[in-house]
Amino acid sequence: MTSCPCTPTSSFDKCCGPFIVDGLVAPTPETVVRSRYSAFVMRSLDYIDQTHAPEICDDFNRAEAERIAEDVDWHGLEIVGTTSRGDGVEVEYIVRIRQSNRIVAKSSVSRFRQEDGRWLLVSSRAGQKVAAQRFLTAGRNDPCTCNSGKKFKKCCGIAS
């Protein structure tokens, strides 16, 4: 079983794989956030491009997205919540990445709308500042911050 980047306790084939690989339509905006995160981790940038609303497609910088996907050491996704707003839905989430041998958390809020049965990204902005001490470090015997179920020292802490 290959674990899914968005939820390491789930298999990729049953979680994000059907959307990224098989082209199935994600049923909710939260599912789109999860599958987009997994697509970045797996460098499946065609899926990222396909989940943009038409008005922002031209803003997608594939070269920059490839650089980010390659350079970032991904360490987990946490969905904070969803809120209906007019004709769309906003999803707030936190992505954990490694920067300078530390795990840092970045909060974002993405807005989606449904078009022809598909949820598409309309906009994204930085969310509220995440308390640094919440994710930056873990002790050697603490569970890993990426929610893999492994000890930090045997997972993300190996490169520290």
Q: What is the pLDDT of residues 14-32, one digit of tens each?
A: 999 999 999 999 999 999 9
Q: Residue 30 corresponds to which tokens in the numbers above?
A: 């939260």
Q: What is the 3-state secondary structure (H, E, C) of 63-95?
A: HHHHHHHHHCEEEEEEEEEEEEECCEEEEEEEE
**CA quadruple 55, 49, 86, 79: dihedral, nearest 10:** -150
pLDDT computed for residue 133 by the predictor: 38
Tokens 């949820």 locate to 119
CATH code, domain carrying 96: 3.10.450.50
Q: Chain-wide mean pLDDT for the chain?
A: 86
Q: Residue 57 corresponds to which tokens in the numbers above?
A: 């497609």
Burial class (CB in 10 A: 0-12, 13-18, 19+), 77: buried
Domain range enclosing 90: 17-130
pLDDT computed for residue 23 by the predictor: 95
Average pLDDT for 83-87? 88
pLDDT computed for residue 136 by the predictor: 43
Tokens 């569970």 locate to 143
Total number of domains constituting the chain: 1
Any domain includes 141: no
pLDDT computed for residue 86 by the predictor: 84
For 146-158, what is each residue's pLDDT tens digit? 666 777 667 766 5
Average pLDDT for 43-47? 95
Average pLDDT for 114-131? 87
Any domain includes 155: no
